[in-house]
Amino acid sequence: MRTFLRLEFLYQQLLYNSEFDADWATRAAMSSLLEVMAILTRGDVRSDVHKELDHQIANLERFVSQPGVDSSRLEALMRNLIESRDNVNAAGTQFMQPLKDCEFLASIKHRSSIPGGTCEFDLPEYSHWLRQPFARRQKDLRMWLDAIRPVCDAVIELLWLTRESATTFEETAKKGMYQYNMQKQVHSRLLRVTLPVESPLYPEISGSQHRFTVRFLEWSTIGSRAVQTGRDVRFHLSIC
């Protein structure tokens, strides 16, 4: 799930920055693309995504014959997941190969490990590409995006379903601390802590598969360290 969350974080940045004409936005999109590539080439993420899709489809199939279920909504969810699985299958195990074989991306990746290594005097070809018309840059970005889109879109779909499947309940952190012991028969994948937008606090979560702790910290300025609040905090908790 941590890998999926990181992919979601980077993929959303990539999609957002790829829509802006400024060359700085294109640079940001390229940085996100290289980080997505690094994750997708480390381990078998595609296989993990496929297994999770199978797991979620099997979970939903158990509700098909149960009374009181919105059948049209269930069918739509299953159809989306099956379509995502088909797209991941169609991408194949070598879906990253075109990006790995791209010398242009390889040169940017190599220099990106050096602070300021993608400057014009280091990568004149990259700077020249950034000066191309927006339509040309978007065409190239979309070509690279098409290679990773099936897996990344499936991750977005899976995380959405995981988040939406949880029941949210209100809890209180006594003097800024909350502890929860997980039930042995419950296999949880994700925790969500929600505070009011105007809250001056932020949560810090630590734990394992057996229990977790949430500490609510008070932030004042960047010049001072955040400290755990001494008051009770009401918040919403979702265990997905």
| pLDDT tens readout for residues 192-202 | 999 999 999 99
| pLDDT tens readout for residues 122-163 | 899 999 999 999 999 999 999 999 999 999 999 999 999 999
Cα gap 153→5, rounded to integer Å: 12
Number of domains in the chain: 2
pLDDT for residue 157:
93
Cα gap 165→218, rounded to integer Å: 30
Domain with 187, as residue range(s), is 168-239
- DSSP designation for 65: T
Same domain, 155 and 172: no
Highest mean pLDDT among 72-81, 150-159, 203-212: 150-159
Residue 128's φ and ψ, nearest 5 degrees, are -65, -40
| pLDDT tens readout for residues 98-130 | 999 999 999 999 998 899 888 989 899 999 999
Cα gap 172→44, rounded to integer Å: 40
pLDDT exceeds cutoff 80 at 16 = yes
- DSSP designation for 225: -
Q: Is 207 left (phi over 0), alpha (psi -120 to 50) or beta?
A: left
**Contact call for residues 176 and 219 (beta carbons, < 8 A):** no
Same domain, 65 and 113: yes
Same domain, 157 and 43: yes
